[in-house]
Structure 1
Amino acid sequence: MLKLDDLTHLPQVEGLIAQIAAGGPGLVVVAGLDPRTAVLPRGEAGLLPSGRATIWRILMREMLDARPRQQALLVTGDPSQRLPRDLRRRVQFASWPPGKSHAEAIAEAAARGPDLLLVERLDASSAAAALHAAAGGLRVLTQVDTVFRGAEVARFLLDLGVSRELLSALTWVVAVERLPTLCSHCKVPAQPDPEELEGWCQSFSDFEPLLREGTYFREQGCARCRGTGREGEVTAFDIWHPDPGAGAVEEQPSGLPIAAYVLGLAARGALPPGDVQRLEAGRLRRTYRLLRASEQATLEAKVALERRLAELEAANRVLQQRTEALISLESIGQALIASTNLSELAGRLCRNASQLCGADRAILYFLRPESGSAEVLAVTGWDPSLVGMSLEAQSVFGSQVGNEPEPCSGFPPGVPRQPTDVTADALRAALRVPFVAEGQPVGLMIVHTSQKARFAPGEVALLRAFGNQAAMAIQRAGLTEALRDKVRQLEAAQAELVQKERLEREMELARQVQQSVLPRVFPLVPGYTFAARSEPARWVGGDFYDVILLDADRFGLVIGDVSDKGMAAALYMAQVHSLIRAEARRQRTAGAGSPPPPEEVLHTVHRLLQELGRSSKFITVFYGVVDTASRRLTYVRAGHDLPILLRAGEVHQLRGEGLPLGFPDMDELYLSQEAIDLQPGDRLVLYTDGLTDAISPDGRAFGRERLIAQLRARAGVATADLCDALFAELAAHQGTADQFDDMTMLAVEVH
């Protein structure tokens, strides 16, 4: 029987688990990521199962052992599952039948007043019900499949729609993660830097004796571990217990952070210290690989379904063909008279002719006198790719066309001999059937058979009569098709003209609307001058810029670039622009005068974009807030091009890391907030990549270096003139080449 001692390697965990086991009412959550084997096999791409379910069962046993006389009630959708033998007599099952929700099953189980309520799965359908049971005075133990830890789980529950009042019932979060341990055969000692060790001890004082006395190692690689430096696994814990009197629970740190636990394991030689720095990156990488594997599994399932559908459609076609063969055909003459579609008529003629004379193969040529050519309209038995082929009329009809069917030999004109077509060598008899209407040839059919040496006279006579009817029908169908083509061309030209006029009106209106969104006049801010210029690649574009007055002492600078062009990008740009303006001007708390910092603004906008619906687009954004009193610029760069700061003849680039907003399936946005003090005489230039990517007629890009050179050369030019001069330089560089991307620039000068 697996016990907690088998999985914990530091005494701090045992003490906290004992507190959980002996604790009172509240919700205890075991969190960890355990991907389904069908989606991602164990160890695939470095992703190890967390062992969450094992820890959940061990904690269940600990909580029951702490109170030996108490019983537990397990809410599960699978009552057939088996618990460890020592737990079966103390745990009862409460399943829910079809038609009843998970939340209803939890509520009914809670009404029975168990000593310990076990909820097998925590998700959007069960979170509120589990917390409500805990708030009602029950001890509730559950588990959630997630990469979140500590307070992140509390925020996750808020995102699921749980009220903040119910969230107060959340008392513990035990997050677990399995990490690969160092290979005991090849690991080598590697003591940490004294300053780094001192930083660990200050950050995690509870672990100071262990960290100072520990022996540290790093991976090396050997044959036993296949050069990876890792062999075996170890469980890492993150234990979070909120303090109700310490403010918002979702902001409180973990009592036992996973970083401290990993350092403790490193001090005991199980892990290299570098694993601490790789925790967050590893979590993001594992999440991405899991999502990618899930997408691949979905794609494979889709391909399998499409393959099965194609097989069913093929079987259905065979069934239809056999059914049609059993249905009596209507009168051939009536069918020919009723048919006006040339291609349909040609296919019917080939099929009917084959049935009339027992031919194996047939090919029908249609004479087009205006071009002096003969077109293959239909085939039976021959390669279907021959349909549509055009030949010289002379090579098909010869110099004279008679009215009577006549025998012939060899392959039909235009039909090549294929080595794989072994049945073609068995053809024994062939017959040319001319289609003549009003004394003029309109077509020719050639039929072949492998069943007999020649066609019987009755079959020839039948084909003669068939050819006379077919000639009139095919002539009429040809004329009808020509008339239809002319009508379609006329309608298409008219519709294209109407569509073009309507599109031009709509695009002009869209251009006016977009221009109204972008600021025409910048706010007057003492000590600062603003100028901007924007040219979309099409009527409308996906770039935007703005200068936003936040309060008497602050203003915001923003520029963005949507990953597309045209109307769709313009609509997405307008949505993001309005969200940023609204969030930038929102007060952080009621009565407080300070606007939210840039990092918080873009995090909120990204979350709102995710909630408004998944999109294939994303947007790069630079957003900064300038404090006019201190001239301090605080900013974030969400994947946007590096801004350029001109100062005393020198060029500086504003750094910072971050990912674009709106990426599909990326709930957590990584941004680094930076700050810089501006000085009088500084000139800050924000731009989109349309400037640097502008292509000349010979394929050369304008480039960032040339942009910097142009800005340095015009250091003394007024800000507005700088924008005009730079765009004139861009126009000269592009010449006759097309503009492939929107170009936008926003310049700020400090006085």
Structure 2
Amino acid sequence: MEIESSLHLQQQIARLQALLDTTHRIHSTIELDSVLRSVLQITVRELEMAGAFFTTFPFSYGDIPPRFLLHPPSSDPRRGCYRFPLLDRHGSTLTEMVVITRDGAPLSLYEQDFLEHLAIQAAVAIENARYHEQTLDMERVKQDLSCARDIQRSLLPQVFPDIPGYSIDGRSQTCYEVGGDYLDLIKLPSGELMVVVADVAGKGLASALVGSSFRAALRAMANSEMPLVDMATNMNLLHYKEGEESRRRYVTAMFLRLDPKTHTVEVVNAGHNPAFLLNGSDVPELIEASGTPVGMLPFSSYTAENYVLSDKAKLLIYTDGMTEVFQGDEEFGQDRLMEAFRASRHTDATGTLNSIWRTLDAFSNQENQSDDMTALVIGRKP
């Protein structure tokens, strides 16, 4: 009896040691392919099974016999086929390990117990490997978004033009890493300055891609000297023809051409928020939309408005993120933005923008913004 008891104890110790060694081997890697391969090697080589494989997508793995490809085997101990489910921490099945014994022999109690414990450890290792892969994927996405953010920022005006008699400055803040707001200033051969402030419907990477396409098309047309109405019309048709996805990402845009020699501006508002113009009066004039957003409809007509800028005139062009700042459930709104612009006593563009941003920050208590925010101020120096 003592000899049998001692042999039994030695067998138990050997089993535990084998399980510990197996556990160590399985958890020594965080690569999913290596985990799956290691489990199958342990099953086939050390337990001397005829075959083993994982079934159930997405973890179908191993040398699956042809007869099992179309008809997954059911657990049938009489034919030496056993299935061991691998469960995640919530009890859901990750996959199943199918074990085929040699010559259809039944599993011993030791083999059955070993494989059940192996399935538990394999499930933990698979979850860890999946988490590791997801973490790597997230890091890659973060790096890509960081690069996209740097590229998008580099496309914004880095230095605003120094035009005698004028003060010009702009600011753009994205809600996420990249955004759909667009701001551009282009000096024309005629000496005029073209200004475009636009907002792609939506936020994030998709809107940023559409914004880059919009920028490329605009810059290709900018030096053609075509009237702003024709430019808006051509941009609209071009954007619409790019397909259904682009139409969902239509663009509201404000096109402006400033002639500093004659102090005149030509403006086309394509479905954009009304610009505010202080032009010799303490009450801002609204430059409303004269047509639909770019890319929304195949044919849209636009009209241009022309203004002569008086001494100390100031113009604010902005995207709707400036009005969609919230304090709880209360929106900042167009009227508050117009009042913040009107109330600013700064004669220069930078001071005016700083004043508006302070007002926005005070209203929102510097909570996270819900949309991209872009604003441009053009002021005529006294």
Q: Scaled by the length of structure 1, what TM-score is found?
A: 0.36
Quote the residue 2:336 is aligned against: 706
Task: Give yes or no for contact 1:522–1:530 (8 Å, CA) kept in 2.
Answer: yes
1:536 maps to: 174
Larger-gyration structure (1/2):
1
Deviation at 1:627, TM superposition (A): 2.7
Q: Say which of 205, 215, 231 aligns to 1:567.
A: 205
Q: Counterpart in 2 of 1:618?
A: 250
**Equivalent in the alignment of 1:338:** 82
* Residue 602 (structure 1) shift: 1.4
2:360 is the alignment partner of 1:730:
yes
SS in 2 for 1:533: strand
Say whether residues 1:545 and 2:178 are aligned partners: no
Letter aligned with residue 622 of structure 1: M
Tell me if 1:718 matches 2:348. Answer: yes
1:651 matched to 2:262? The reply is no
- Cα distance, 1:480 vs structure 2: 4.4
**SS of the counterpart of 1:716?**
coil
> Does 2:371 correspond to 1:741?
yes
Partner of 1:671: 302
- Distance in 2 between the 1:662 and 1:599 partners? 15
For the aligned residue pairs, the C-alpha RMSD in angstroms reads: 3.0
Task: Give the secondary structure class of the aligned counterpart of 1:746.
Answer: strand
Q: Do the aligned residues in 1 keep the contact of 2:273 with 2:288 (CA within 8 Å)?
A: no
**Structure 1 position 597, deviation (Å):** 1.1
Partners of 1:473 and 1:638 lie apart in 2 by 74
**Partners of 1:334 and 1:579 in 2: CA distance:** 71
Query: Aligned AA for 1:693?
Result: E
* Runs of 5+ consecutive residues of structure 1 not aligned to the other structure: 1-326, 344-369, 378-467, 587-594
Residue 693 of structure 1 pairs with residue 324 of structure 2: yes
The separation in 2 between residues aligned to 1:642 and 1:470, in whole angstroms, is 81
Give the match for residue 505 of structure 1.
143
- Following superposition, the deviation at residue 720 of structure 1 comes to 0.6
- One-letter amino acid of the counterpart of residue 704, structure 1: Q
With over 3 angstroms needed to count, the CA separation of the structure-2 counterparts of 1:741 and 1:474, relative to structure 1, is farther
C-alpha contact 1:694 1:702 (8 A) present in aligned 2: yes
Kindly provide the CA deviation profile for residues 49-76 of structure 1, in whole angstroms up to 9, marking residues without a partner as x.
xxxxxxxxxxxxxxxxxxxxxxxxxxxx
From 92, 104, 123, the counterpart of 1:485: 123
Which of 637, 641, 659 lines up with 2:269 in the alignment? 637
Tell me which amino acid in the other structure corresponds to 1:338: Y
1:268-287 CA distances to partner (integer Å, 9 max, x unpaired)?
xxxxxxxxxxxxxxxxxxxx
Residue 340 of structure 1 aligns to a residue in which SS? Answer: strand
Question: Are 2:314 and 1:683 aligned?
Answer: yes
Deviations 1:140-184 (A, max 9, x none): xxxxxxxxxxxxxxxxxxxxxxxxxxxxxxxxxxxxxxxxxxxxx
Q: Which residue of 1 aligns with 2:238?
A: 608
**CA 1:474 to 1:694, structure 2 compared with 1: closer, same or farther past 3 Å?**
farther
The structure with higher relative contact order (CA 8 Å, sep 6+) is 2
Q: Mark the CA change 1:699 to 1:335 in structure 2 (over 3 Å): closer, same or farther.
A: farther
* Alignment check: 8 A CA contact 1:623 1:637 kept: yes
Q: Are the equivalent residues in 1 in contact too, given 2:194–2:257 (CA < 8 A)?
A: yes
- The one-letter code sitting in structure 1 at the alignment partner of 2:82 is A
SS of the residue aligned with 2:198?
strand
Residue 515 to residue 469, structure 1, CA distance change in 2 (3 Å):
same
> Which residue matches 2:380?
750
In structure 2, relative to structure 1, the CA distance for the partners of 1:485 and 1:653 (3 Å cut) is: same
Deviations 1:534-583 (A, max 9, x none): 10001111111122212334221210001121122112111102211221
Q: 2:329, 2:243 → 1: CA distance?
A: 38
Deviations 1:411-467 (A, max 9, x none): xxxxxxxxxxxxxxxxxxxxxxxxxxxxxxxxxxxxxxxxxxxxxxxxxxxxxxxxx
The letter of the residue matching 2:288 is R
| CA apart distance, 1:336 | 6.6
CA–CA distance in 1 between the matches of 2:186 and 2:75?
A: 80
Once residues 714 and 498 of structure 1 are traced to their aligned partners in structure 2, the CA distance between those partners, rounded to angstroms, is: 48
The 3 A distance-change label for structure 1 pair 484 and 646 is farther
* Cα distance change of structure 1 residues 338 and 522 upon mapping to structure 2, 3 Å threshold: same
The 8 Å contact of residues 342 and 477 in structure 1, kept in 2 or not, is answered as no
| Structure 1 residues 335 and 673: alpha-carbon distance in aligned structure 2, compared to 1, 3 A threshold | farther
Pair 621,473 (structure 1): closer, same or farther in 2 beyond 3 Å: farther
Q: Residue 477 of structure 1: CA displacement?
A: 6.6
What one-letter code is carried by the residue in structure 2 that aligns with 1:651?
A: P
Aligned to 2:326, the other structure's residue is in SS state coil
Identity %: 24
Q: Following the alignment from structure 2 to structure 1, what is the Cα–Cα distance between the partners of residues 116 and 174?
A: 49
* Residue identity opposite 2:365 in structure 1: G
- 2:67 corresponds in structure 1 to none
- Which residue type is aligned with residue 681 of structure 1? K
Question: SS of 2:284's equivalent?
Answer: strand
Counterparts in 2 of 1:718 and 1:481: CA distance versus 1, 3 Å: farther
What per-residue deviation string (whole Å, max 9, x for no partner) do you get for residues 187-212 of structure 1?
Answer: xxxxxxxxxxxxxxxxxxxxxxxxxx
Letter matched to residue 634 of structure 1: E
SS at match of 2:84: coil
Please say if residues 344 and 356 of structure 2, whose CA atoms lie closer than 8 Å, have aligned partners that are also in contact. Answer: no
From the superposition, tell whether residues 376 and 716 of structure 1 become closer, same or farther in structure 2 (CA, over 3 Å): closer
The TM-score, its normalising length taken from structure 2, stands at 0.69
Give the match for residue 527 of structure 1. Answer: 165
Structure 2 counterpart of 1:492, one-letter code? R
Q: Who is 2:42 aligned against? A: none
